[in-house]
Chains A and B, each alone.
Chain A
């Protein structure tokens, strides 16, 4: 169906993508990036429909979407 790839180095953990995802694919993680930010990670991979909503709202262009 779809696939999202998050660039952890660019993610600032604002959580807007988590809010707009219709399938709850994304979750906040306990992993830090080089800035000490708790980045967003992909949890329910198989649920992704590739709608690009997360990528459209991401302020840091950290998300790539494949379908």
Chain B
């Protein structure tokens, strides 16, 4: 019998601290597989965020730099400027990218820095205890919105992929989901495309990944995937919002 699926080289064989059913594990594996398929492991540098993925440097067998909360795009800009031959990507959550680090994100995208951003959108702050994030859905119950997110008081969820697609420096902007097998395969294709855009020197690329957080959605892992399919994609429609060279 031939092995048809196994752990890829870039993904370290170690126990992760993520909760059962967390989407980070799937996203980590997809990023690792893409890096191995493109053969860029030796010249890739990742930037880990603050948030649940803060320990990502233990899980990828890559050079990884840890950045202060929200600042991975700024750190990545520096690393890419020093040695443009390196492939630099950031891996950020919604609290990191869309809240405290939105300034860095917008300006890095606007400058068209040739980096890749992997944005994990799970609609809550995971590491700090499930508080409301900028991407929390209308009416969603979190630790700080016990009666559901009230749009009048807290505003609307931020649509990062659409927002950044409007900037001229952005070459690739896409939203995908980890809700089922076909969507996981599409997520991998989107991540691959984003890395290829960077390798071709076309500019900023971002992949927004809708990811389950069973613990703070207070659902089972299986129910969480259904929540993405039924509720989350209504607020955050999937698709490619910008692709360089295509209309």
Contact = CB atoms under 8 A, between A and B. Distances in A.
B185 interface: yes
B247 interface: no
Interface residues on A, range: 20 to 34
A64 B181 contact: no
Contact of B5 (A37, A59, A65): A65
A60 B1 CA distance: 23
B222 A15 contact: yes
B6 A64 contact: yes
A3 to B, nearest CB: 6
B20 A61 contact: no
Contacts, number: 73
Chain B binding site: helix, strand, loop or mixed by DSSP? mixed
Given A64-B3, A66-B4, A59 B185 contact: no
B21 A16 contact: yes
B1 A67 contact: yes
B2 interface: yes
Contacts of A37: 20
Contacts of A16: 21, 221-222, 225
Contacts of B220: 15
Contact of B221 (A3, A14, A53, A61): A14
Interface in A17-63: 19-20, 35, 37, 50, 52-53, 55-61, 63
Interface stretch (B10-18, B87-95, B122-130, B164-172): B10-18
B234 interface: no
B7 interface: yes
Nearest to B19: A12
A66 B1 CA distance: 6
B24 interface: yes
B141 to A, nearest CB: 22
User: Which 3 A-B pairs rank lowest in CB-CB distance, beginning with the nearest?
Assistant: A59-B25, A14-B21, A14-B20
27 contacts: A12-B20, A12-B21, A13-B20, A14-B21, A15-B21, A15-B221, A16-B21, A16-B221, A16-B222, A20-B180, A52-B5, A55-B6, A56-B184, A56-B185, A57-B26, A57-B180, A57-B181, A57-B184, A59-B21, A59-B23, A59-B24, A59-B25, A59-B29, A64-B3, A65-B4, A65-B6, A66-B1
